[in-house]
Amino acid sequence: MNFTSDRRSSLHRTVLCLVFTVGSAWAGSESPMGPPTGGGPFRASDLVELVTLDPGIKLDIRYATSNNFIGRPVYTEARAFLQRPAAEALLAAHQWLRTKGYGIVIHDGYRPWAITKLFWDITPPEQRIFVADPATGSRHNRGCAVDIGMYELANGREVAMPGEYDEMSERSFVTYTGGTAAARAARDLLREAMEREGYFFVLPEEWWHYDYKDFREYAIEDIPFSAINRASAAAP
């Protein structure tokens, strides 16, 4: 799964074509299938806007830019949310990392279900290990998953990891032994910060993806960011 640059370029061109076709249909009409229902009873949704927790939490919301695996924005706003207990656990991890000279940078949090469906539709079947099946929904759709990296407090620079965020290769695996020792150490420090109190656990195929332990207690949602009130999304 360690792609050559030619193969990655070819994949990128294919994905862009699919995005135009699938994305246009998705934007212009109702999705052919809705979010999965069932389970429960669920806790009431209480999405917190993460930048309200601590000014040291940075945002790098790739899906609001063209710097992502599909090559165009899919979010209209660069915002990030988690359910309140998950947000508070993330804050604790961020505060612990500060004692080590680092801070957390957020790439993604709550994700509307329609975006998960779009990702699935445009991803080749052999690479769907890296995307969630919309038939079951994503933990991102529950507001209980977060994609993160680290930055250095001293200079604000993002810390290099063994692979890039959202890279569809073996470099994304938490067990990957390649790359530099410094990059692997950074990946492992991030994992220690997130898992040390037992609230989050890493997705083995994605070093950046952490799930909150009680994700099953929240329903899958398809609320656009624009419908999440900024005041009600803030911490009390």
CA angle 19, 224, 122 (to 5 degrees): 20
pLDDT band of 1, cuts 50, 70, 90: very low
Whole-structure pTM value? 0.84
More confident call, 217 vs 14: 217
Residue 37 lies in a domain: no
- 102 close to 189: Cβ distance less than 8 angstroms: yes
Residue 151 lies in a domain: yes
Residue 36 lies in a domain: no
pLDDT band of 36, cuts 50, 70, 90: confident
Residue 41 lies in a domain: no
Out of 7-11, 104-108, 137-141, 146-150, least confident range? 7-11
Overall average pLDDT of the 148-177 stretch: 97
pLDDT of the residue at 213? 98
Overall average pLDDT of the 189-207 stretch: 98
CA distance 7 to 10: 5
- Name the residue among 3, 46, 4, 21 with its Cα closest to residue 229: 46
pLDDT of the residue at 37? 83
Question: pLDDT, tens digit, for every residue of 47-91?
Answer: 999 999 999 999 999 999 999 988 999 999 999 999 999 999 999
pLDDT of the residue at 229? 77
- 82 close to 228: Cβ distance less than 8 angstroms: no
What is the SS3 string spanning 169-202? CHHHCCCCCCCCHHHHHHHHHHHHHHHCCCCEEE
pLDDT at 158 over 80: yes
pLDDT band of 234, cuts 50, 70, 90: low
Residue 40 lies in a domain: no
Q: Is 134 exposed, middle or buried (0-12, 13-18, 19+ CB in 10 A)?
A: buried
pLDDT band of 18, cuts 50, 70, 90: very low
Overall average pLDDT of the 17-34 stretch: 42
Structural domain harbouring 60: 5-29+46-227
Residue 34 lies in a domain: no
**Number of domains, the chain:** 1
Residue 181 lies in a domain: yes
pLDDT band of 230, cuts 50, 70, 90: low
Q: What contacts 84, CB < 8 A, 6 or more positions away? A: 46, 47, 48, 235
Residue 35 lies in a domain: no
CA distance 2 to 118: 24
CA distance 206 to 221: 23
CATH number, position 124: 3.30.1380.10
